[in-house]
Homo-oligomer: A and B are copies of this chain.
Amino acid sequence: MPQTDPAVSVFDATTAVTRSDGGGLAADLDPGWDVGPGVLNGGYLLAVVARAALVESPHAHPVALSASFLRATGPGRAALAVTPGPAGRTLAHSAVVLAGADGPTLSVQVTTATLTDEPPAYSAAPPPEASPVERCVWPVDDGTVVHPMPEVGLRKRVETRLDPATAGWATGRPGHEPVMRGWVRLADGRDPDPLALLLFADVLPPTSWAMGRFGWAPTVQLQVLVRALPAPGWCLAESRASEIAGGWLDEDYRIWDATGRLVAQSRQLARMPR
């Protein structure tokens, strides 16, 4: 484990990638990012994978990651095999496979580039109407909520405040639409950057929960696009499923920074909870 210097954020320390004795890259996957027994959050894993790709890239930021979740990934030592692709002035490609003691668990296409905060030439994605963060909620088990959030590690590492309009499921009043919306930030006080946006791209409860269909919705494939450098402060994330069919569910995330700028998009195919 990298030692957590008080000046280093927990997110930075637990996503660190090191050069192992054999010359390959490795990470110590931190048990504090769990979403269930022995299973780590997918967005956290993408941040680790992106760091590995950046080690070998002439560019500073991840702009596109597409991941196949081969198996659930648990905590502990993991090897990161990076296959560099073409690298140019504008962007660089690589493929990264993350493997634990039992073999590969995550296989990812990564594109890196150098992002700016230059204003968009065109934008059709203004932030949605959302309650201000101080009126948003987090359904902990205080005796009043029917379906409290499981007290997993992820929820301690990312502060999440759900818009009451998409949190009815917690108090026994699920809605008719698979939509979740909430404000998110790192609990360690670190401001968002492209790596944190990868984490936020899979951080809300499954959209199926909004309709009262609880249970784990395991991600099969997830693509995240990072569109700009986010401003400091809270980010607003909204996830939405377009179609649930044959046991499959898609989830689209859009993430805006504190200034209301679209900074990331993601789409995943997941299995529907039974």
Contacts and interface: CB of A to CB of B under 8 A. Distances in A.
A121 B178 CA distance: 12
Interface string A73-113: 00000000000011000110101000000001001111101
B95 A241 contact: no
A265 B267 contact: yes
A34 to B, nearest CB: 21
A265 B107 CA distance: 21
A248 B63 contact: yes
Given A109-B221, A124-B242, A227-B243, A68 B85 contact: yes
B221 A66 contact: yes
Q: How many copies does the complex hold?
A: 2
B122 A178 contact: yes
Nearest to A267: B267
A37 interface: no
B267 A242 contact: no
A177 interface: yes
Interface in A93-151: 93, 95, 104, 107-111, 113, 115-116, 118-125
B66 A245 contact: no
A269 B63 contact: yes
A86 B71 contact: yes
B221 A250 contact: no
A225 B242 CA distance: 12
Contacts of A107: 85, 93, 95, 109
B90 A120 contact: no
A251 to B, nearest CB: 11
A264 to B, nearest CB: 10
A95 B221 CA distance: 12
Given A64-B220, A68-B66, A68-B93, A243 B111 contact: no
A23 interface: no
Given A223-B221, A245-B228, A68 B120 contact: no
Given A118-B246, A121-B244, A269 B68 contact: no
A110 B211 CA distance: 30
21 contacts: A63-B248, A66-B223, A68-B109, A90-B247, A107-B109, A108-B109, A109-B221, A111-B221, A118-B245, A120-B244, A122-B244, A123-B244, A123-B245, A124-B240, A221-B225, A223-B223, A225-B269, A227-B245, A228-B245, A242-B254, A242-B262
Given A70-B85, A109-B221, 8 more contacts: A66-B66, A70-B93, A107-B109, A111-B220, A124-B241, A125-B242, A227-B245, A267-B267
